């Protein structure tokens, strides 16, 4: 069944609580990438245009409530004030920042709002009960408004007071960003135009066990790159030197290779790799490398990126695809010398005529760094939520929203 969207709500003169994802990078008090703020604007502007009073909730960074000193440091570091300043530059209405998460100051600010204005509440993680979905906290926040809109796709896999709790006390809907994410991911994974190619990278097999298993059942070809590829190569009986291997998952990788064969699916692994004596330190520092076959990885060296033949192999598979879903880099892309594999895959997707859906996190960062974001069909704003979806799991912050 489809979820109610913000279009289905009567928001005129109503106080609408909106969970957005303003978890943006901040350095020396300045926002270095405002993409997440910009992505929230369609929902915010829609509400403003329809005479709503818009109260925004978001987390920013992490706060350690177990250690009083670290807690105060975290609050100081992750204050939402710079976000409010940037938001005020992007909208054509007043933005009032309330530097607290509860109490008279917040209550008065909301009470005195005019239709077509915004109140941005302090970082939700200032509250210890936020991440525990504390019902009293959710009920308190809900008492401030009339309606709830979930538009933080990057957080919809978390059962927090501001993502799930609010929906238990207020009529709820998803915003345009979450609606868009669900449409593109749903179409790509559950109803793809074939051939459907999945590309997975990153370092750890353990992070993507269910994703690999689920994608094998849904896609025609599954491409494995990044650090996780070496555990698969080990499962094939290859020697991988000092490359990253998860010994507890070798048997699992063997099972997945067998499953792919049994299902008649392609599971493509690297055929060559870029190796070095050690991991780069610093991560973006100079490093000496060489390219070797995956059958000839020296015992004292480690693979840190896919090689050129592998890049060609993967690119050719993408060229013939109609739908591609990609999550995870092909190597240590933060290092210019070890970013060639990730760049090659990104360029192949950019040149493709397929529907291309890119997962959040490092994959999105790589595409943005290369200036190829506008060449992709959809660049997801959610890393963890993207993976949860690929696993075939429900998203708790979406499941709780009212059905149409």
pLDDT band at 33 (very low <50, low <70, confident <90, very high): confident
Q: What is the CA radius of gyration of the chain?
A: 23
Give every CB contact of residue 269 below 8 A, 6+ residues apart in sequence: 224, 229, 232, 233, 236, 294
Residue 6, classed as helix, strand or coil, is helix
Say what the pLDDT of residue 273 is: 98
Reading the block at residue 203, the tokens are 């370092």
Say what the pLDDT of residue 135 is: 98
Active site residue 361: yes
pTM for the whole thing?
0.89
Reading the block at residue 399, the tokens are 């499941």
In a 13 Å sphere around the CA of 370, the CA atoms on its Cβ side amount to 27
Active-site choice (361, 382, 383, 397): 361
Active-site choice (75, 132, 204, 322): 204
**What is d(CA 349, CA 377) in angstroms, rounded to the nearest whole number?**
10
Say what the pLDDT of residue 393 is: 84
Say what the pLDDT of residue 150 is: 98
Give every CB contact of residue 191 below 8 A, 6+ residues apart in sequence: none
Say what the pLDDT of residue 129 is: 97
Q: Could you read off the pLDDT of 61-102 as tens digits, one per residue?
A: 999 999 999 999 999 999 999 999 999 999 999 999 999 999
Average confidence score pLDDT of the chain? 95
Say what the pLDDT of residue 366 is: 86
- The neighbouring-strand residues paired with 147 are 16
Tell me what the mean pLDDT of segment 191-216 comes to: 93
Domain boundaries, the chain: 6-177, 192-390
Dihedral sign of CA atoms 64, 66, 70, 73 in order: positive
Active-site choice (3, 14, 19, 36): 36
Active-site choice (61, 116, 254, 384): 384
Q: Could you read off the pLDDT of 360-395 as tens digits, one per residue?
A: 778 888 898 889 999 999 999 888 899 999 998 889
Give the start-end residues of each E strand in 58-104: 95-98
Give every CB contact of residue 62 below 8 A, 6+ residues apart in sequence: 74, 78, 125
| 196-199-205-207 Cα dihedral, nearest 10 degrees | -80
Active site residue 36: yes
Reading the block at residue 294, the tokens are 């995956």
Assigned architecture for domain 6-177 = 3-Layer(aba) Sandwich (3.40)
Reading the block at residue 286, the tokens are 């100079």
Percent with pLDDT over 70 in the chain: 100
pLDDT band at 11 (very low <50, low <70, confident <90, very high): very high
| 377-378-379-384 Cα dihedral, nearest 10 degrees | -140
| φ, ψ (nearest 5 deg) of residue 207 | -70, -20
The H-or-E segment that residue 27 falls in is strand 26-27
Q: Could you read off the pLDDT of 214-236 as tens digits, one per residue?
A: 999 999 999 999 999 999 999 99
Tell me what the mean pLDDT of segment 11-24 comes to: 97
Say what the pLDDT of residue 236 is: 97
> Does 379 or 44 have the greater pLDDT score?
44
pLDDT band at 207 (very low <50, low <70, confident <90, very high): confident
Give the start-end residues of each E strand in 116-250: 118-121, 147-150, 172-174, 196-200, 221-224
Say what the pLDDT of residue 206 is: 86
Tell me what the mean pLDDT of segment 147-166 comes to: 97
Same CATH fold assignment for domains 6-177 and 192-390: yes
Say what the pLDDT of residue 169 is: 98
C-alpha 181, offset from chain centre: 11
Range in 17-31, 42-56, 260-274 the model is least confident about: 17-31
**What is d(CA 48, CA 54) in angstroms, rounded to the nearest whole number?**
7
C-alpha 356, offset from chain centre: 15
Distances, alpha carbon 217 to alpha carbons 262, 345, 387, 392, in Å: 11, 23, 16, 11
> Does 28 or 268 have the greater pLDDT score?
268
Active site residue 154: no
Q: Are 152 and 20 in contact (CB under 8 A)?
A: yes
Q: Are 174 and 301 in contact (CB under 8 A)?
A: no
Instruction: Using the predicted structure, report yes or no on whether residue 289 has a pLDDT greater than 60.
Output: yes
C-alpha 70, offset from chain centre: 26
- CATH homologous superfamily, domain 192-390: Phosphoglycerate kinase, N-terminal domain (3.40.50.1260)
Say what the pLDDT of residue 141 is: 98
Active site residue 382: no
């Amino acid at each position: 069944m489809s979820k109610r969207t913000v279009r289905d709500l009567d928001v005129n003169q109503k106080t609408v609580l909106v969970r957005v994802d303003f978890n943006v990078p901040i350095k020396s008090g300045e926002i270095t990438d405002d993409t997440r703020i910009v992505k929230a604007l369609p929902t915010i502007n829609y509400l403003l245009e329809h005479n709503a009073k818009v109260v925004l909730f978001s987390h920013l960074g992490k706060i350690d409530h177990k250690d009083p000193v670290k807690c105060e440091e975290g609050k100081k570091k992750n204050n939402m004030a710079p976000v409010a300043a940037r938001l005020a530059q992007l909208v054509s209405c007043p933005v009032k920042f309330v530097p607290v998460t509860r109490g008279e100051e917040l209550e008065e600010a909301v009470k005195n709002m005019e239709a077509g204005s915004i109140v941005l509440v302090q970082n939700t993680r200032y509250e210890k009960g936020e991440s525990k979905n504390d019902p009293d906290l959710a009920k308190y926040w809900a008492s401030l408004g009339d309606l709830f809109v979930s538009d933080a796709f990057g957080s919809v896999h978390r059962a927090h007071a501001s993502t799930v709790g609010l929906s238990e006390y207020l009529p709820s809907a998803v915003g345009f960003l979450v609606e868009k994410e669900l449409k593109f991911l749903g179409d790509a994974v559950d109803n793809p135009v074939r051939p459907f190619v999945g590309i997975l990278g990153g370092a750890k097999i353990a992070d993507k066990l269910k994703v690999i298993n689920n994608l094998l059942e849904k896609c025609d070809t599954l491409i494995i790159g990044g650090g996780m590829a070496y555990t698969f190569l080990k499962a094939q009986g290859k020697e991988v030197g000092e490359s990253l291997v998860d010994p507890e998952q070798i048997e699992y990788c063997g099972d997945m290779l067998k499953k792919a064969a049994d299902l008649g699916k392609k599971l493509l692994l690297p055929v060559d790799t870029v190796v070095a004596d050690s991991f780069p330190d610093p991560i973006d520092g100079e490093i000496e490398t060489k390219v070797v076959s995956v059958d000839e990885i020296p015992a004292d060296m480690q693979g840190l990126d896919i090689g050129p033949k592998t890049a060609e192999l993967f690119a050719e598979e993408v060229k013939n695809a109609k739908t591609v879903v990609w999550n995870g880099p092909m190597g240590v892309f933060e290092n210019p010398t070890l970013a060639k594999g990730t760049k090659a895959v990104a360029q192949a997707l950019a040149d493709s005529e397929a529907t291309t859906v890119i997962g959040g996190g490092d994959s999105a960062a790589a595409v943005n760094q290369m200036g190829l974001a506008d060449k992709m069909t959809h660049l997801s704003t959610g890393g963890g939520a993207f993976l949860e979806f690929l696993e075939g799991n429900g998203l708790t912050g979406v499941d709780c929203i009212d059905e149409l």
